[in-house]
């Protein structure tokens, strides 16, 4: 793993830190490769149930490294996962963004790839690509209208201006707003609450929430049955019922 992406675990939680604070954690190829490897580890390691992505040095991420793009034509995309090793194929397991400072351009698109967002009150979010002659093509234009009303998504995309975290929370983009410096701590608290639940049921719930946006009305319940059939037959479902009846904490095995 490159030093530009740092990993550590807190129990069943994988914390991924973009570590280029001198450039506000702008994404270069090394970062994209590091994040892609981290997402593979999160999905592939049964001991990991939840992921958190954050940035070092008081900022989340300022987007693509424009110097590398301008002078070398480098776009930090990974085959199969897209920009930043994440945006086209987020992990199957829950991923939380812990945001301090700037989360703009590709950095905001990383946030939009996550399932939950914890932000400092002094954080800010935006898609300024149009100010640089670019388009927010790492999922921002497609995901943003599913998070906020279309008119507000248009405003952010066409003006290219950033909004403060307080406004982002009012619009529904942020789950938890915290004091500066506390975003990662609060994200860990959320991750541990998710981790207390059955991991297979959590991952399947995320899958249905994400996938069902494109399901036709007439097929929704059948497609949901296909996804949930394995849950009803799982050992964890039996354990959950037994733990409830016996008034004890469930012990999940993930199958």
Distance between alpha carbon 134 and the CA centroid of its chain, in Å? 23
Domain boundaries, the chain: 5-195, 199-245
CATH 3.90.1210.10 corresponds to the domain 5-195: no
Catalytically annotated residues: 109, 129
Q: Which of 116, 78, 82 minimizes the C-alpha distance to 209?
A: 116
Long-range residue pairs from 138-144, CB within 8 A, at least 24 positions apart, any chain: 138/82, 138/83, 138/84, 138/87, 138/88, 138/106, 138/109, 138/110, 139/82, 139/83, 139/87, 139/88, 139/109, 139/112, 139/113, 140/108, 140/109, 140/112, 143/109, 143/112, 143/113, 144/112
**Full pLDDT tens readout for the chain, 255 residues:** 469 999 999 999 999 999 999 999 999 999 999 999 999 999 999 999 999 999 999 999 999 987 765 545 568 999 999 999 999 999 999 999 999 999 999 999 999 999 999 999 999 999 999 998 999 999 999 999 999 999 999 999 999 999 999 999 999 999 999 999 999 999 999 999 999 999 999 999 999 999 999 999 999 999 999 999 989 889 999 999 999 999 999 999 888
d(C-alpha 119, C-alpha 166), whole Å: 9
**Is residue 174 helix, strand or coil?**
coil
Half-sphere exposure of 246 (CA within 13 A, CB side): 10
- Beta strands at 5-10 and 13-18: parallel, antiparallel or unpaired: antiparallel
pTM listed for this prediction: 0.94
Question: Which residues, other chains included, contact 64 with Cβ-Cβ below 8 Å and sequence gap of 6+?
Answer: 26, 27, 75, 76, 83, 105, 106
pLDDT of residue 232: 87
Direct distance between the N- and C-terminal alpha carbons of the chain, in angstroms, rounded to an integer = 30
pLDDT of residue 1: 47
């Amino acid at each position: 793993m490159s030093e530009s992406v740092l990993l550590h675990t807190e129990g069943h939680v994988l914390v991924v830190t973009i570590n280029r604070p001198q450039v506000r954690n702008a994404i270069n190829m090394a970062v994209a490769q590091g994040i892609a490897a981290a997402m593979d580890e999160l999905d592939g390691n049964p001991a990991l149930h939840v992921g958190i992505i954050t940035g070092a040095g008081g900022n989340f991420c300022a987007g693509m490294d424009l110097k590398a793009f301008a002078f070398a034509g480098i776009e930090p995309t990974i085959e199969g996962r897209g920009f930043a090793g994440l945006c086209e194929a987020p992990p199957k397991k829950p991923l939380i963004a812990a945001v301090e400072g700037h989360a703009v351009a590709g950095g905001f698109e990383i946030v939009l790839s996550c399932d939950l967002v914890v932000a400092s009150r002094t954080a800010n979010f935006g898609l300024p690509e149009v100010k640089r002659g670019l388009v927010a093509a790492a999922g921002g234009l497609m995901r943003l209208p599913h998070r906020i009303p279309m008119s507000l998504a248009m405003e952010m995309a066409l003006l290219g201006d950033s909004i403060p975290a307080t406004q982002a929370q009012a619009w529904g983009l942020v789950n938890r707003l915290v004091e500066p410096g506390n975003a990662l701590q609060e994200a860990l608290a959320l991750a541990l609450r998710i981790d207390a639940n059955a991991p297979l049921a959590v991952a399947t719930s995320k899958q249905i929430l994400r996938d069902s946006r494109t399901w036709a009305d007439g097929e929704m319940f059948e497609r949901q049955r296909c996804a949930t059939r394995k849950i009803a037959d799982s050992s964890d479902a039996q354990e959950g019922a037994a733990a409830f009846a016996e008034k004890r904490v469930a012990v999940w095995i993930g199958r």
